[in-house]
Structure 1
Amino acid sequence: MPNDCISYQKSGYFSKLIIDYLAEKNELKPLYNHFPTLANFKFQLAEKQANYNSANRKVLVKALEEQYRNIAVSEETQFNIQKLSESKTFTITTGHQLNLFTGPLYFLYKIVSVINLCKTLQATYPEYHFVPVYWMATEDHDFEEINYFHFKNVKIKWDNNSTGPVGRLATSGLEEVYEVFAKDLGVGRYADELKKLFEESYLKHSNLAEATRYLANALFGDTGLVILDGDDPKLKQLFAPFIEQELVAQTSFQKVSETNNNYLSSYDIQVNPRAINLFYIEDTIRERIIFDDNRYFVNQTDLSFSPEELRQLLASHPERFSPNVILRPLYQEVILPNLCYIGGGGEIAYWLQLKSNFEAFNIAFPMLLLRNSVLLTTEKQVQKADKLGLRWADLFSDQQTLFDQKTKEYSLFNLDFTAQKAHLQKQFEALRLMAEQTDKSFAGAVKAQEVKQIKGLENLEKKLLKAERKVYAEKLERIIQLQNELFPNQSLQERRNNFSEFYLESGKTLMEKLYQNLDPLSPNFTIITL
């Protein structure tokens, strides 16, 4: 079995910003508080305890009790909800969209990362209590991002119209999706479990928020996971003063823009702030709030408000204001006694834009931890890799690079002409010196001849490589076939495949192995054989 480790930095699947963050580059240190190490949590604990408004705990617990009122709650989750009222209880949080049937595999990895980090922290800091939280992105309105999942090579899609927050979207039409999925699953013990899970989640709950809560609770409830819906009037009331500041002072635009310009000019910017980073929401609408000519307008509608009218609306209906991607993290940290946010590379990238904004609002900035990334394999695939002499690093390689590298390894000849090209360049260096000492007009002719001969060697190298590929075509095809199985569309498995594909074969063993193997503080890909 291949036993080499693949670090996130060397995997080829993360941006320069994330690679530099993981390397703790000095130029990025102003963008985060404490780097996520076990020892650093003691500093984060002290800061959050001093900064967090303890009065929010009572409101948070009451809101969670109401959100869970129509669902069977495990003793572990109920215990954690009640513990949130105590001053020494803190959360570790991840967030995710309401993807149909969890969407890609990394939904599981995010939540298991949160659960396992809480276990590690509990053992290290036993005087505190740590609660894993999944924040449901119920207020998102991009339905096209969440209305499907891939099962094997089939895209199972929910055709519906949605213009408002997806959490409030009725689950009508999912009966047809269930029929398609059930047929593709076939028969068998685990197939029946998956059918029942889909049916209980989506066909017996009226909206997508309730369906997703049921699904996540069914998968993780026995671990004590707490599932939170931010689309809640009580919780929005806690955030109302920050909403008002955003409407009046437009703080976020100024602070995030400064961060982008001062620290992130050499990186790809994940998100750009707007003048006002809030939406107006109702059941079928979520549109930007725009300030112009001393009035507030709701984009794509006839709604408009004077400053005083909008303040009155905020006081009476805070639930009609929804933070965008810039302000949602602030909302989360206002209402939760949170220490650390666990997210994917894209999420951590935009969180790194936000620290100065948190400081402007006087809210403690959480630690930022890259979620675990996982490659799931079968015993058969591992045996194939062994037989082909592959390391995991080989399989993570770019496909063309892997193709060429293995051709050179298998060939009986040396297909790398680097030495010959270096020797040729040395000879031409001598010719250049001779030309300079005799007739400098020859220098151009010498350079042209050098370029021609180097190009000739490169062409010969390519032809020999192509010829050798034909000799080892069958073996190379097996390598590429294995890589395609593990990296669909030459991308990470976790970004495409749905958990049901693996649960169908392994059942609860899948979840057990995730709990056993995922170490949130490890900087390496986790490779699990099912």
Structure 2
Amino acid sequence: MKVTQIPFQKTGFFSKTMLDYLEQKETIQPFYNNFPNISGFQNQIEEKKNSFDVESRFILADALKNQYKNIEFSNETSENIERLKLKNTFTITTGHQLNLFTGPLYFLYKIISVINLSEELSEKFPEHNFVPVFWMATEDHDFDEINYFNFDGKKVLWNREDGGAVGRFSTKGLEDVFEVFSNHLGNSKKAQYLKQLFADGYLKYQNLADATRYIANELFSEFGLVIVDGDDEKLKEMFIPFVKDELEYQTSFKQVTKTIENLEKSYKIQVNPREINLFYLGDDFRERIIFEDGIYKVNNTEITFSKDEILKELKNNPKAFSPNVIMRPLYQEVILPNLCYVGGGGEMAYWLELKEYFEEVEVPFPILLLRNSVQVISEKHQRKLDKLDISLEEMFLNQTELLSKKVVENSNIQLDFDEKIKYLEAQFSDLKEIAKQTDVSFVGAVKAQERKQVKGLENLQKRLLRAEKRRQKDLVARIIELQNQILPNQSLEERQRNFSEYYLEYGASFIQNLKASLRPLQLEFTILEL
């Protein structure tokens, strides 16, 4: 195994928002609190310990014990749940949708990031405990985003009727998916493990939340991972004051809208708030709560409430109130003694909209950490890269740019016109000085001629390059094939492939190698050669 770290900027796959955040640019500093470094965590510990009471800790621990009652879990996880009762214990959290069989590879990278960060902080701050947490997005209702995973270039799909919170979905019908997936896997020892993991998760548990908890627990319980289901009555009781505030005053809409007005001057906005950022959750539906003409209405239903009625419903049935993307982060921070949220670029972007909202409701805003990203390179692919003289950084170039670069390097004729263009521009610079001395109106004509000549050279260069690509068609085909294998659909493989492909090849050592390689606070992209 060989590990190489390169800057996120070198991959070309990360947004301006994230790159500016990693560089702590002045334009983005107002939108986050402490930065993910050791001094930032020291500050965050002080802030959080003064805002999270002992009673909340016991409610959290008891709720988690209840959630784990039908599953076997490790001593490490058990001890971490108990530690949550102690005032010197804090969590490091990531979250994800309930994708079928974990979905894309970065499911693993998120969880290993929080595990490794918890271990690193335990070394830096031995007087405190740090618990890695995986937050299951059980209340999501975007079934089309989670009902499949990719295996060996094919989509393994679960077809069923949509409706309601996905965590409550019955696992009925996944027997057919299991049969299809099993046929793809073969009969090796590693394949048998994957089949057993899928079957024990989806064929033995009755709903998607329990099945996902089982699978995540099987993969990571030995590291003390604690898995949280927010669709829990006791946990939602802790959130009642903030839901009441939202229903009565629409605080999130007001504060996030104010933040967006400033954030959008420099960055793309990830999500926009609604006037009420809550859903009403039933057994088979999750619909927005809308306030119109003094009445609270549940969208696409006949359910309505007066103000007194909805506040009474909140008190008696808090589990029916489900936060949307704007309020879910607050819910997490209210019920967990959390220091840091670890997520992808899209998640970080919407968290950056929330700092003023957190300040208004007096909840500490967590540290935001861009999760580890990984590109796995097999020995076979590395040999091909070496043979084609493509470096690890070059591998991430836009395909057109990569082909042009390698064709130029491999050509025995001069294909780079940059020097010729510079020479031409120098000649026209002299002409412009002469024009200024004779007739200023003549300068415009000189500039127009310069643009025409430079454009002509650029077009000649493109035509020559196209001709050379045709002449070197074998090299071009080999580069295209290799890059497409490494970066499927010209995207990072972590967004395309499922962990089962690598488990089938490397077994349990795949997860072990990831854990040994990922360094969350280095804030760099990881290339793992296996």
Is the pair's TM-score, using the shorter chain for normalization, greater than 0.5? yes
**Is the alpha carbon distance of 1:215 and 1:268 closer, same or farther for their aligned partners in structure 2, counting shifts above 3 Å?**
same
Contact 2:279 2:288 in 1 (8 A): yes
Structure 2 partner of 1:61? 61
Q: How do 1:187-226 and structure 2 match up within 5 A? A: 187-226=187-226
Q: Which residue of 2 aligns with 1:510?
A: 510
1:436 CA displacement: 4.7
Is the contact made by 1:64 and 1:81 (CA closer than 8 Å) also made in structure 2?
Answer: yes
Counterpart Cα distance in 1 of 2:453 and 2:321: 68
What is the CA distance between 1:446 and its match in structure 2? 3.8
Pair 1:318 & 2:318 matched: yes
For 1:276-425, what aligned pairs fall within 5 Å after superposition?
276-425=276-425
Partner of 1:41: 41
Distance (Å, rounded) in 2 between the aligned partners of 1:357 and 1:346: 19
Structure 1 residue 3, shift from structure 2 partner: 8.2
The answer to whether the 8 Å contact 2:4/2:527 transfers is: no
Paired position in structure 2 for 1:481: 481
Q: Which runs of 5+ in 1 are unaligned?
A: none
Aligned to 1:11: 11
CA deviation after TM superposition for structure 1 residue 434, in Å: 3.9
Task: Quote how far apart the aligned CAs of 1:439 are.
Answer: 5.5
Q: How far is the alpha carbon of 1:386 from its aligned partner?
A: 1.4
Q: How many angstroms does 1:388 deviate by?
A: 1.5
Cα 1:77/1:393, change in 2 over 3 Å: same
Please give the alpha-carbon distance, in whole angstroms, between the structure 2 residues aligned to 1:433 and 1:3.
55
1:252 aligned residue: 252
Q: Distance in 2 between matches of 1:2 and 1:195?
A: 30
> Structure 1's 92 and 440: CA in aligned 2 closer, same or farther, altered over 3 A?
closer
For residue 429 of structure 2, what is the amino acid of its counterpart? E
2:135–2:230 CA contact under 8 A, matched in 1: yes
Task: Tell me whether 415-424 or 305-314 shows the greater mean CA deviation.
Answer: 415-424
Q: Identity percentage over the alignment?
A: 55
Partner of 2:169: 169
With normalisation by structure 1, the TM-score equals 0.97
Distance (Å, rounded) in 1 between the aligned partners of 2:360 and 2:442:
66
Distance across 2 between alignment mates of 1:392 and 1:137? 35
Q: Secondary structure at the match of 1:26?
A: coil
The answer to whether the Cα contact below 8 Å between 1:113 and 1:518 also exists between their aligned partners in 2 is: yes
Q: CA deviation at 1:450?
A: 3.0
Distance 2:461 2:296 in 1: 66
Report the counterpart of residue 471 of structure 1 in structure 2.
471
Q: How many residues align?
A: 530
2:4 and 2:526 in contact (8 A); partners too:
no
**How far 1:5 sits from its partner (Å)?**
3.8
Instruction: Please give the per-residue CA displacement for 1:157-186, whole angstroms capped at 9, x wherever unaligned.
Output: 100112100000001111111111001111
Counterpart in the other structure of 1:496? 496
Q: Secondary structure at the match of 2:93?
A: strand
Query: Contact (CA 8 Å) 2:355, 2:365: kept in 1 or not?
Result: yes
Partner SS state of residue 231, structure 2: coil
Asked if structure 1 preserves the Cα contact closer than 8 Å seen for 2:6 and 2:525, the reply is: yes
Pairwise CA distance, 1:519 = 0.5
Match of 1:125 in 2: 125
How far apart are 1:2 and its partner, in Å?
9.7
Question: 1:39 is paired with a residue of what secondary structure?
Answer: helix
Counterpart of 1:237? Answer: 237
1:380 match: secondary structure: helix
Q: How many Å separate the matches in 1 of 2:356 and 2:451?
A: 52
Distance 1:388 1:188 in 2: 33
Distance across 2 between alignment mates of 1:330 and 1:356: 12
- Provide, for residues 242-284 of structure 1, a one-character-per-residue CA deviation record: whole Å limited to 9, x for no partner: 1000100110001001111023322110010111000000110
**2:461 equivalent to 1:461:** yes
Using the alignment, how far apart are the partners of 1:25 and 1:118 within structure 2?
27
Change in CA separation of 1:415 and 1:328 when aligned onto 2, cut-off 3 Å:
same
Q: Equivalents in 1 of 2:429, 2:41: separation in Å? A: 58
Give 3-state SS (helix, strand or coil) of 1:10's partner: helix
Output the CA distance in 1 between the equivalents of 2:524 and 2:152.
26
**Aligned Cα root-mean-square deviation (Å):** 1.5
**Partner amino acid, structure 2, of 1:416:** D
Secondary structure, in 3 states, of the residue corresponding to 1:55? helix
- Give me the whole-angstrom Cα distance separating, in 2, the residues matched to 1:367 and 1:452: 52
Within 2, Cα distance between the matches of 1:480 and 1:229?
43
SS at 1:27's partner residue?
coil
More deviation in 439-448 or 132-141? 439-448
Which residue identity does 1:58 align to in structure 2? F
Aligned-partner residue type, residue 246 of structure 1: E
The superposition leaves residues 227-255 of structure 1 with CA deviations (integer Å, 9 ceiling, x where unpaired) of: 00000000000000110001001100010
Q: Distance in 2 between matches of 1:100 and 1:390?
A: 35
SS of residue paired to 1:85: coil
1:257-268 correspondence to structure 2 within 5 Å: 257-268=257-268
1:125-152 residue CA offsets vs partner (Å, 9 max, x unmatched): 1111111000000000000000000001
SS at 1:17 equivalent: helix
**CA pair 435-360 structure 1, distance change in 2 beyond 3 A:** closer
Q: Secondary structure at the match of 2:522?
A: coil
Which segment is superposed worse, 256-265 or 197-206? 256-265
Secondary structure (helix, strand or coil) at the match of 2:79 reads helix
Shift of 1:293: 1.1
Give the C-alpha shift of residue 438 in structure 1: 4.5
Contact 1:164 / 1:286 at 8 angstroms: preserved in 2?
yes
Shift of 1:432: 3.8
Mapped partners of 2:141, 2:64: distance in 1? 23
* CA distance in structure 1 between the aligned counterparts of 2:28 and 2:459, rounded to whole angstroms: 43
| Partner of residue 100, structure 1 | 100
Contact kept in structure 2, 1:2 and 1:390, CA below 8 Å: no
Aligned mates of 2:29, 2:444 — CA distance in 1: 49
Instruction: Give me the whole-angstrom Cα distance separating, in 2, the residues matched to 1:436 and 1:73.
Output: 82
Counterpart Cα distance in 1 of 2:522 and 2:145: 30
> What SS does the corresponding residue of 1:272 show, helix, strand or coil?
coil
Q: Is the 8 A contact 1:5 1:392 kept in 2?
A: no
Match of 1:116 in 2: 116
Does the 8 Å CA contact 1:4/1:391 hold for their aligned counterparts? no
* Matched residue type, 2:451: V
